[in-house]
Structure formats: structure tokens, C-alpha cells
Amino acid sequence: MPSYVVYSAPSTEPVTIAEVKAHARIDAENEEPVPSAVTVALGSGVGNVDNGAHRYRCTFVTADGETSGGIISAAVTVVDKAVNGKVSLSAIPVGGSLVTSRKIYRTAAGGSTYLLLATIADNTTTTYTDNIADSSLGAEAPSTNTTGDPLLNMLIKSARQHAEMLLRRYLITQTIDLYLDSFPLWEIVLPPLQSVTSITYTDQNGDTQTVSASDYLVDENSYPARITPAYGKVWPTSREQTNAVKVRFVAGYGAASAVPQCIKNWMLMRIKTLYEARDEVATVSGTIAFPSHFVDGLLDPERVWGY
């Protein structure tokens, strides 16, 4: 029997936390709240903060993401950095128990975009001295809260994996290893794919060999996809052992934007049901009620049949 193993998992999911919350009508209570404003004041002595008005805001960082920028501080103006070129920050907000670090963002002199100033790698420190020039500021503060509810992240992944099983295809770009005990007589059948990275096998001596890409043809236009020997070629002889042949291929529609809407709709319905019904069965008025089947017909346009 063929065995599929994910070699490189997708870096994103077909639907976002925000889409799930909007569909399931989940409010912001499931996110880490944004920080309150930090207190700012001019420091003393020569410093590197550019002359002009600056404002600050913070974010909270958890294992699941980062909040959007918090409440904006009052402005602090550096008139002559050769005299007072530092800014003292105090009352830096402390987050909840899930917060692992905090980030401070600052505008350039007279600016309105908040750029990364510093990362505080704890959830206890409440003071910081800014002595950074505008040219050394980093990335822009996030505009969305990605801390999310860890449960929703888990349910999104679960729904995507369930859809992939039902569809017999992968959704977001990822790399898969197919293991076979031996080469077939003719074609290797695969889920819809983007490309084949390599075909390797264990030869009679127990050594790993790579089949030349010129020795086989990839039919990525068929559903399912197929790999066959090139004209005048045959598959090599592998050692008689389990998983003697490995086909590494890239599959998926592409980015989340390329996944058909019918699949996304199915996922949103699936996730909402999983979120609201946390058990396999539910008891309603003393009666055990089994959940009805999901609207699996939404997946039919993208199903792969025949393997």
C-alpha cells in the first residue's frame, strides 16, 4: 500500500482566524487584548533619538502570534539630541499569563507609522530607555491581532486535513513523500500536484539511487496525476523491501487565495460546528443526539476520483 508522509507542511492555512471568527460570530474575548499606553518622558544627556516629535505603542506576543498595536502614547519631542537625546519609557503594560514577550514600536520624528524599536523578552519589565536613531527602527507594527484562540488554530488545521482526506488532494502548497514497496508496472498515481522533486529508490545492493528526470514523464494535468517512464524507458529494479521507492512531490492549489471558495465554505462550516459542539455526541433535553452530516456536497466540484 502506498504511504503519504508530509515532508514540508504548509506555512499558512486556507482560512484565517479572522474569517473563522467572522463566520462563527466569535468576539474578541478569544484574543489577547491590546496593551494600554506607555508613559514617556525626555531623558537626560546626549542620545541618538532624532530631533522631532515621537509617539510610542506596544504589542503583546504569545505562542500563537502578536496583538495589533496598543493604545498610542502621548507625544514626546526631542529638541536637541546633543542635550536630551534619549526617551524614558515607564509603565510599560504587562499582559496576561499567555504573554511571553512584548514589543515597543515608535514613530520616526514627526511620522505616523509605528516601527519596531525593541523587544522585551519577558512579561515583567516595565521600564525602557530609548536611545535609537530613526534609521535603526525595524518593521511596522502589525495591524491585526494574530494571537487568536489556540483552539481555533487547532480546528482550522483539523478541518483542512479532513478536507484533504475527503478530496484526495492537498490544499496549500506543501511537499509530500510517497513511499512504495516497489515500482509499479507502468504508472505511479498521485494526488493533483504542482511538480515532482525527485524519485529515489533502494537498489539491489542497498544503496540509494535517484531516477533521472529525463527517464520519466509527469502528467500534472490529469486528476489524479500520473508519472510514467519516458519513451523507451522502464522503471529500475528496486530491492525487495518495504518503502524501497520514494517519490517527493509538491502539491496544493498554491497560496490560500488559490483554494476554491467551495472548500473554504466547507471548512468554515466544519470549524464552526467543531467549535460549538466539543464532544462526539451531544445531549439535548436528556436525549443523546448525534450531529448531522456536514454539507460534504460542497466539496464535490474539487474531489479527485479514481485512486
Task: Please state the separation of Cα 42 from the chain's center in Å.
Answer: 40
- SS3 state at 301: helix
**What are 218-245's pLDDT values in tens digits?**
999 988 999 999 999 999 999 999 999 9
For position 21, what pLDDT does the model report?
85
**What are 265-293's pLDDT values in tens digits?**
999 999 998 888 766 566 556 555 545 55
**What are 150-175's pLDDT values in tens digits?**
788 889 998 999 999 999 999 999 99
CA angle, 275 then 59 then 42, to 5°: 165
- CA atoms of 170 and 165, how far apart (whole Å): 8
> Any bridge partners for residue 165, and if so which?
none
116 close to 105: Cβ distance less than 8 angstroms: yes
Q: Residue 214 class from Cβ within 10 Å (0-12 exposed, 13-18 middle, 19+ buried)?
A: exposed
**What are 40-60's pLDDT values in tens digits?**
999 989 999 999 999 999 999
Q: Residue 25 class from Cβ within 10 Å (0-12 exposed, 13-18 middle, 19+ buried)?
A: exposed
**What are 82-98's pLDDT values in tens digits?**
999 999 999 999 999 98
For position 59, what pLDDT does the model report?
97
Nearest alpha-carbon partner for 105 in 135, 69, 76, 74: 69
| Whole-number percent of the chain with pLDDT over 90 | 72
Task: Please state the separation of Cα 111 from the chain's center in Å.
Answer: 31
Q: 3-state SS string over 233-245? A: CCCCCCCCCCCCE
**Per-residue confidence band for 29, with pLDDT thresholds at 50, 70 and 90:** low
For position 139, what pLDDT does the model report?
97
Q: Which residue has the cell 525595524?
A: 138
**Cα–Cα separations (whole angstroms), residue 186 to 178, 216, 229, 284:** 16, 11, 7, 55
**Cα–Cα separations (whole angstroms), residue 177 to 40, 47, 165:** 54, 55, 16
Amino acid at 219: D
Q: How many CB atoms lie within 10 A of CB 171?
A: 25
- SS3 state at 122: coil
Nearest alpha-carbon partner for 147 in 68, 71, 30, 66: 66
Q: Which residue has the cell 502578536?
A: 66
> Any bridge partners for residue 76, and if so which?
54
Task: Please state the separation of Cα 54 from the chain's center in Å.
Answer: 33
